[in-house]
Amino acid sequence: MILPLDIILIVFTVICAIAAIQIKDLLSAVIILGAFSFFMCLLYAQMGAVDVAFTEACVGAGVGTVFFIAAVNKTKRRAKD
Amino acid sequence: MFEYIVSKFNYWAYICLMMIGLYAMIVKGNLVKKLIGMNIFQVSIILFYVSVGAKSGGATVPILTAEDIHHAHAHVLANPLQYMNPLPHVLMLTAIVVGIATTGVALAIIIMIYNRYKTLEEDEILVIRKESGV
């Protein structure tokens, strides 16, 4: 574990989480959620959990983002809040 | 005391992320935003479990290399200080897959709600339901 890298990654994840729930454009919010998942995957790899990291990268960030984008395309893109 | 608090910074991040997800699930009116909050909540719990299993000081996953097998002092391999706990990792692999399955079901329900009410905002859906007398 490298301490400065860990702290930078954690700050980025928190920033991405806040941005994902505050942005009114749903497609942008979903893409930022994918970036959040990738930062979290880097954090797992940093802590030595390599198996969790690559499962999060392909299932959490990849398939999850595709599901979200498909659902947003079938419904409305604008959110009120 | 300050050192002790800073050394547990993963847990502070886990609490922050969990509360951000809970806030999104309760306060946001849009259904997709609620689902994004649920995703953040799940990922924060996975972060907590992986942090429990992590160990500083050069510990790795328990893998035997070819050199280790032919090592004269094989008893050093039994030293548990060199290995971190793999049990939380295995549990969290299942949790990630279950999380993506629940997200898929929730998105299917959201699409059906949109087809019926033509909106994704919670307050508008409640008004339509009250007007139609359901």
Q: Is A52 exposed, middle or buried (0-12, 13-18, 19+ CB in 10 A)?
A: buried
> H helices of B54-86, where?
66-69
> Cβ contact (<8 Å) for A76 and B40?
no
Residues B96 and A55: beta-carbon distance below 8 Å: yes
Confidence tier at B78 by pLDDT (50, 70, 90):
low
* Residue B97 domain-assigned (yes or no): yes
* Residue B92 domain-assigned (yes or no): yes
For residue B57, the chain A residue with the least C-alpha distance is A1
Residues A56 and B96: beta-carbon distance below 8 Å: yes
pLDDT, one tens digit per residue, over B8-67 is 888 999 999 999 999 999 999 999 999 999 999 999 999 999 998 888 776 777 766 666
Mutation to test the A interface, candidates B3, B5, B40, most A Cβ within 10 Å:
B40
**What single-letter amino acid sits at A74?**
K
Work out how many domains chain B is built from and give that number.
1
Interatomic CA distance for residues B132 and B134, integer angstroms: 6
Asked whether the ipTM of the predicted complex exceeds the cut of 0.90, the reply is: yes
For residue A51, give how far its alpha carbon lies from the nearest alpha carbon of chain B (Å): 7
* Residue B66 domain-assigned (yes or no): no
Domain range holding B19? 2-55+82-131
Question: What is the pLDDT of chain A when averaged over all its residues?
Answer: 92
Residues B58 and B42: beta-carbon distance below 8 Å: no
pLDDT, one tens digit per residue, over A29-66 is 999 999 999 999 999 998 888 899 999 999 989 999 99
Interface list for A 29-58 with B (CB within 8 A): 29-30, 33, 36-37, 40, 43-44, 47-52, 55-56
- Which domain CATH number covers B14? 1.10.287.3510
By the CB < 8 Å criterion, does A66 face chain B? no
* Residue B73 domain-assigned (yes or no): no
